[in-house]
Structures are given as C-alpha cells and as structure tokens.
Chain A
C-alpha cells in the first residue's frame, strides 16, 4: 500500500482548532468561530486534494496509509497510530468536512448571540477531528478512539445548554446508551484479537478466511451492537430523540448527517466479517428493518419539528443498515443513501433551525403554518430536501432509496418479500410524516403566538441551506450515473457471482412512487384540508398515544433496566454498610473482647496505636529469635 505523510493534517487541523479555542478561553471569543470554520474548511480542501490524487491512481493503488507512531505494543498486541484513506473513507472525509464546514458557517450566525459561542465551535471542531479519526483509523482500536471521541463531542453538544436539567439528562442518557454499544465494540476487538491475533482492518480481513464461523458471527454481532448504539438503531435507539436538546446545527451535523451514520460505516468497513457470518448479517437486516419502521411510526406522531426529523433520521439510517446487511450488493447502496441523506437531512435540519430562528425558538409545528410567505428561501431549500427524502425523481433520495428497496426484494424468497414490503411501507409512511411536517410548517393557515414575527434568516444561514439543497437535487444522479459510486467502491467488497434481478427497477420505482403518493395524499387530507389544532388532540387512538411516547421505548427501559438497577444499587449500598462492614465490626468487637474495650481504643489515645505497631515489630524480632535458637 502506498504511504503518505499528509493524512494526519485532515485530523490535526480541526483538533488544533478545538485545543486552541478551549485553552485560550475568553481571549478568543472574538475570532474563535472564524478560526474553527477556517480549520474545518482547510480540512475539507485537504480532503479534496487527496481525492484528486486518488482519482489519478489505478484502482489497486488508491488506498494510502500513514503510520504516525507505535501506540500500544505488548506481546503480540501491537497497535500503531495509523491512518488509512481508501475509496470508502474518502467519501466520509468529504461528507464530514464538507457538511461540517457548511454547518460551521451557519452556526456563526445561528449562535451569534450565545455567550458561549467559542465553546460551541471548539466542540464542533473536536467533533470533526474525532469523526475523521473514526473513519481514518486503520484498526478497530484506532476507530474506537474516534468512536468514543464523537460520543464525547456529542455529549458535550447535546448538553451545551446543560443549565437546563432536562438537557443535562439528555446528554447523560446519550452517553450511557452509547457506552452500552461501545461495550459491543470492545467485545468485538477482544474476540478478534483472541482468535486472529490482530485487530487491524487489513489483518482481520486476511485472517477472516481462516477463522471459524462461530468467532466471525460473534464479532459480527458485537459490531452490530456497537452500530445500534452509535446509529440509534433498535434496541439502543432511545437516546436520539432526547439528543435534540442540542443546538440545531448539532442536530444537523452530528445527529443526522455524520455521527449517527458511523454504525453504517462500521458494518460496511467490516464487510469481510459479515459476508462470512450469515447469522450476524441476517441480524443486521432485522435490526435495520425494525428500526426503519420504528422511526417512521414515531415520526407520524411528533409535533416537535426536530423530534419529527430525528425520528426520520432513525428510520433512514434503518434503511442504510438494512442495505448494509444485504451483503456485497447492498454496501454501496447503503453508502449512497448515507451520502444523499447527509445532504437532504442536514439541509432540512438547518431549515428547521432557520424556522426556529424566525419563530422565537418555537419547535411545536402546531404553532407554525403558512411560513412559506415569510421564509421563502427556507421553504424552497426545505422543500427540495423534502422531495429528496420522499424519493421523487430526479431528486437524490429517489436513486439511493429505490436501490435499497430493489436490493431488498432481490434478496429473494420470503426474506425478499418481507424486506421489500417493509422498505416499501416505510417509504409510504415517510411520505406521510414528511408531508405532515411540510404542511404544518409552511402551508395552511398561520397558528403562531402573537409575539412571533417570522422572518427569513440572514445569508450566513441560508447559504449553507442552499448549498445542501443543491446536493439534495443533484447528488443522487451524480452518484448513480454510470454506477459511479458502485464502481468506485467495488474494489473494497468481494462480490461473488451474479445477482438475480427478481423485479425490474421500473416496477420497483412504480411501486415506491405509488406508496409515496398514498402517503402524501393521506397527509394532505388530514392536515391541509382539515383544520389543525394548536394543541395536540387528546382524544386519539391508542396507537397515536403510543407513537407519541416513542413506542414506549423509555417506559420499557425504565421498567426493565433502570428501576431494577436503582433498586439493586440501593440494596447493595445498605448491605455494604450493614452486612459486610457490620461483619467486620462484629469480628473486631469479638476480637477485642467487648464493646467497651473497643470504645476505649477508639477514644483517641493515638500513642497506643503507635505502641501496637511497636509491639508488632518487637514480636517479630522476638519470634525470630525464639525459633532460631
């Protein structure tokens, strides 16, 4: 593999930004945000430069690596601080730094009145650096550092306004649930080292052929656990909705476009594991299918615009995970959907931020309405993202989502029918809840509070939205034209044999569009033709009630995990005091004859304790003297 000595700059630039901003304190309040934005942008340009170099090389020559130093070396456990840039990671590098830089620009204006804007930008840069390490690390352990690094950045940003107790709780919840996933990653690394003696990507790939299916299945399932945590997939999905407590640009960058897609990266990167472990691969598909429905159903009941979008993110990542679980054919489509989703979802989140900006931070869509007249740019950019997520041709989602639906059907047999139907149904529900968001926010009649004065956002905010909207329109076509992305990524995945085409692409598209049309129609009838209350109606079906409560995910976790654990903790604290320490006190009392003599010892005649020790020492010498006579 070719080596390079400039990969480290991708990470070092934003990392330096966050260190400078955090250490310089208030001194950098004036220029900190500009520095952070510039550093994120420079990282993007380094990425573009690397892409141009990569394009000039032949397929086999494209991956490059850089060894920085020896990180950990004990016995056969040798880990270098090494970076790997290949066809897969360059996609992520450009997404992270590209969308990341746009969101930096947006935040300059969005956070302008926050007294802690510098700290916000420091965290954003920290996030970019960690996320780049996650996708550039050349071993699972290096990835782990980035993996928890983005978790830390996410925690800090969700809790950016942690003076509000609910926000502080949300950030803690995210961290803890992510740690459960991280445990999976730890296990995967341990199994890999114990069975293969290596944890580098190239090493594991080479060793996978000689490893038992049982071990590979174990590794695969544990990687899936890790992915469910970071990517908010079932059953570790419950933190994502609460994560919307963070400032909206954070929701766009971390909790929509980049960090939450890390699970998809992990599974795609580990293709050599999953391809050889069918059981684990099947579980991936199941998790993806469940989550895509789970998120979509929650999305239909949310009145908070950010939580509706968060539910949608969960659902869309479900599509990606499902795609990645479909094996060699699916990886490239999962990545394609990940990239197009990066554009349209980040764009829509920024749009939501723009709406909130104009509406005194109101997030309840029932108090929006008819905003298209007041925020035309936001309306148009959001609208383009809306068309993209629905999968309307020729917008981006059409290309990427249809490919996943098609691949799902082509899995064949009962599996293909189930998966295909789930993805189709999901597309219809997506159309319903996104149309609902669109109508409630931009169409219909105005339902705002009196003090709201909706207005368009400044250009620093709408420019990034416009650029992302452009991506929502074009990215799908560009990535799929001539199978561009599929061919680009193909050297990474081992594709054995031909794939049967059970349904023609035209038929799949037609079915998908029909579902979308039905979903849109339902939403229009319900929210455009009928009056919308400013209060959420209380006389609703049990299903709506459950959906509003995120399908009971929190209740379940609280009842099954949290309360029993709290009870156990309380019991153990009491037992420790009463039983274990009590036993020790009892022994002490018995040994010292009576409670009275213990009290005398405790009375504070410190010299007597020194005496005790002296007696001990004398006893030692005496004993030795006796036995050696």
Chain B
C-alpha cells in the first residue's frame, strides 16, 4: 500500500474540497479543514502501527520514474527518524487548526485561502520528511516557502510583510547554496555510473575532500538557516512576532525541524568526511546558540520574540546532539525534535490566546492573569515548565540525553551547554512572573478564560508533554535503531566508561 503517497494526497484532496466550498460559509470551511487533518492523523497512526521498529532500512518505500531523462524519481521512504517527525507534524496540524479557529479573520485574503494554504503545507511537511530523491526533496524544500510566506505576510500582524520577506530571502539564499551543491552531486554522479538524484546512490560517490567540504557547506548553511543556528537566526524572531500563533507552531515546530532533519539525513550521509571536518566548528556554533538564544530570550519584551529565542537555544541543543555522535546524544536529539514541537506549540498557542485577548504582545502589559484566567495561566505555566525541561515532562528526557551523550565525548561543550538550564529557568520564570503573578494590572481585569474549543485543542499537547516525560519508551524504541544506524554508518561507537582498577 502506498501509505506515504496517500498521506500526501489526503490534505491536497481536503484543500480541493475547501476550494470548492462557498466563500460565505467560513464555519464549514474550518470544519472540513479540521476533518481533513484528523483523517491524515488517523492514517499516519494506521501507517505507524505497521512500522517495523527494529528494521533500520527505509520502510514504506515507493519509487516511480518522474523525469527519466534526468534520472529524477518520485521516491519516498521513511526510517524511525522520519516517522517520528511525520507523526509530530500530523498531530500538530489538527491542533493548530482547532486552536487557531479565528486566526484567519482579518487577514489580507479569505478564510478559505488560509485553510488551503495550511492543507497544502501539510502535504509538503509530510513529503519533505519522506522524500528519498534529492530533487524531490529540494523541490518540496523550496516550495514549502510559498504557503508559509503567504501565511505570514497575509494573515500575520504588525510588520508582517517585512517579516515575510526576510524569511523568504533568508530561506531562498540557503536554498540556492543547497541547489548548487545538488547540481554538483548530480554532475559527479554522471561521471560515476549514471546520473541520479537517489540519496542512497549519491551517498557512495567518491569525491575529493575539498569538493566534499564545499558541497557540505552548501547543504549545511541551508539547514542552519532553517533550524536557526547562531548567527543565521535573525529572521526567526521577526517571523514569530508577526506570524499568527498557528503559523508559528508550524514554522518553528515543523519547518525548522527540516533543518535538523536535513543535517542528519543529508549532511551526515552524503558527506561523512566533511561532517567530521566541520564537527568542531558546528559544536561551537551549537553551544553559542544554546547560551546566546537563552540570554536573548531573557532580554525580550515581546512574548512571541521571547518564545522564538528559546527555540534558538533548543535548536542549539538538537544540533549539538546530532554532531556529538553518541547514541544518547543522537537519540536525544531526535526525541528533542519531537518534544520541542509540542512544548513550543503549547507556548505559542497559549501565548497567542493571551495576546489576542489582551490586544498586546508586550509582556509588561500582562499581570495577575493567574487570578483572572486560571486555566490559561496554568497552561502557560505548564508549557513553560516543559520548555525549561522540568524532570517529569517530556523535554527533560531529550535534553538530558543530549547532555549526557555529548558529555561522554565532548565534556567541555556539555558543561557549557548545561548552564543553559539555569538560563532557561530565567527566561521562563521572568515572563511567568510578569504575566501571571503580581496584582491584576489595568486592562486585564475582564479577560476571559479558555473556552471549550481551546481546552480541547491544548489538551492533547499537554497530555503528550506529560506522558512522554514519564514514558518515552514508545518513541525511543522507534528512534534508537535509526539513531544507532546513523552512528554506525558514520563509523563511530560510544565512548566506553574508563573504569580503571589500578588507580587506587
């Protein structure tokens, strides 16, 4: 059965249906969109049940010639890493639709257009993780920019056009570098046994180390812009500040993961030698991101910008985990991608509700919400606790795995990164205190607490955060084989504890 194609087609079908609905019936539009995302989620779960978790080969493989004269195939297939990310994306999609029920009002275009964009984006989110043909991946990678661009520029707030342009130009720049590398790979493949874009075939190319280094950088810079790594991060806070909360969830929760996913899937497997060469530099950038993102988050006055900077810190952790190359750090990084999706979603969604009620995103404009809107305040607090990786919540497991795994090979990096957990306490508790505690400040007395729709939307996110904190095994069992496969391919093995009996 063509599970992956089915997953990609379903949202498209939904978007066609939405397009055919009468423009006036906004409610029906939203209902169809929600139903579509739920069907996609159900299908993903049905597919995931059949996933053989100990099989490290790509599964649900599909391959059809697309443009045979160029050796371009429509080729899909997933391992544990991709499965987890697709699952995350398809869980977040209905949450975003339900949580942002009224986000599409007041946009440049109609409600209908908003949901068409969201559904098309969902197709691409699945495709980008499932593609195993470099050309297909590149097309989706670039095409994803279009719906996001319109979602930010058309439905956002404030300086939405400028933010959308910044996002687009940044991403295009990275994309072009990657394009150059892809073309080079393609050309070389022609010289070594036939033109192809097939990822597995390209992984076996022979090339000089200089070539490898250059091509690696083409990919890596594109990914480091996507999953913003210092100093390529400045588009993200602007985008998050201007985008609707739902768009931010998809942007930071899913799209940015394409960057970290790409580092594993493309950088490591296509350019193993160059990856090793650049690892020291990348680790430094990752550690800088962790600390820098956290400090910048502490200094923000705008709630959405603050959340964006926390993500820069978190992406630093993920990148560090990927390149530290131990089974704990690698599995931890993948789990971190999944968990970050939900803790950031919770922050953006609840933060978005707070902002739309108050009519301001400045943290100082809030105050005393715990006594006015207790449920909303509690949800924000829980989301914050997840973001600062409180033990017992999901992000703790992933963050600790990254740290402990990194420590076994790069103790200094891990030690510096660990200071991030103190900074995390500050960047969460400062807005918590300003917004939720203290006396109720003027303008906040009559805010409404969460309604039933909002509670239903946030409930699964919180449930995932709590349950995976205590019981991450179902995910780890899927992630571990894929992660150790990556490390083994890469020729690494975990450092062995250096017990020495002779020392004493």
Contact = CB atoms under 8 A, between A and B. Distances in A.
A76 B494 CA distance: 9
Interface in A169-219: 169, 172, 175-176, 179-180, 182-183, 186-187, 189-191, 193-197, 207, 209-213
A627 B176 CA distance: 17
A75 B298 contact: no
B404 A195 contact: no
A179 B422 contact: yes
Contacts of A196: 497, 499
Contacts of B504: 209, 212-213, 276
Interface stretch (A50-58, A144-152, A391-399): A144-152
B253 interface: no
Interface string A274-306: 001000000000000000000000000000000
A560 interface: no
Contact of B438 (A70, A163, A570, A625): A163
SS class, residues of chain A in contact with chain B: helix
B280 interface: no
Given A210-B501, A620-B183, A628-B70, A568 B295 contact: yes
Interface residues of A, number: 76
Interface residues of B, number: 95
A627 B471 contact: no
A211 B499 contact: yes
Nearest to A592: B169
Contacts of B233: 580
Interface in B489-504: 494-501, 503-504
Nearest to A155: B429
Contact of A609 (B135, B165, B484): B165
Contacts of B87: none
B234 A74 contact: no
A186 B433 contact: no
Interface stretch (B14-22, B23-31, B137-145, B258-266): B137-145
A159 interface: yes
B411 to A, nearest CB: 7
Given A148-B391, A569-B298, A627-B183, A162 B429 contact: no
B414 interface: yes
A610 interface: yes
A187 B165 contact: no
A617 B298 CA distance: 40
A573 to B, nearest CB: 4
Nearest to B374: A25
Interface string A590-629: 0000000000011010100110110011011101110110
Given A76-B494, A172-B429, A195-B498, A163 B392 contact: no
A71 B390 CA distance: 16
B480 interface: yes
B353 to A, nearest CB: 19
A180 B142 contact: no
Given A148-B391, A196-B499, A212-B500, A190 B473 contact: no
B187 interface: yes
B130 interface: no
A1 to B, nearest CB: 23
Given A183-B422, A617-B142, A74 B503 contact: no
B401 A606 contact: no
Contacts of A159: 437
B218 interface: no
B229 interface: no
A623 B195 CA distance: 14
B195 A628 contact: yes
B497 A194 contact: yes
A163 B414 contact: no
A256 to B, nearest CB: 24
B289 interface: no
A497 interface: no
A573 B149 contact: no
Given A74-B332, A194-B411, A194-B497, A576 B296 contact: yes
Nearest to A620: B179
B216 interface: no
A194 B407 contact: yes
Interface in B389-414: 390-392, 396-397, 400-401, 403-405, 407-408, 411, 414
A546 interface: no
A339 B139 CA distance: 68
Interface of A: 69-77, 81, 141, 144-145, 147-149, 152, 159, 162-165, 168-169, 172, 175-176, 179-180, 182-183, 186-187, 189-191, 193-197, 207, 209-213, 276, 568-570, 572-573, 576, 580-581, 584, 588, 601-602, 604, 606, 609-610, 612-613, 616-617, 619-621, 623-625, 627-628
Interface of B: 70, 135, 138-139, 142-143, 145-146, 149-150, 153-154, 161-162, 165, 168-170, 172, 175-176, 179, 182-183, 186-187, 190, 195, 231, 233-235, 292, 295-296, 298-300, 326-328, 331-332, 368, 370-371, 385, 390-392, 396-397, 400-401, 403-405, 407-408, 411, 414-415, 418-419, 421-422, 425-426, 429-430, 432-433, 436-440, 470-473, 476, 480, 483-484, 494-501, 503-504
21 contacts: A69-B471, A74-B328, A74-B405, A74-B480, A75-B326, A77-B328, A162-B433, A176-B425, A187-B415, A190-B407, A190-B408, A191-B407, A211-B500, A211-B503, A584-B235, A604-B161, A606-B154, A609-B165, A609-B168, A616-B142, A620-B138
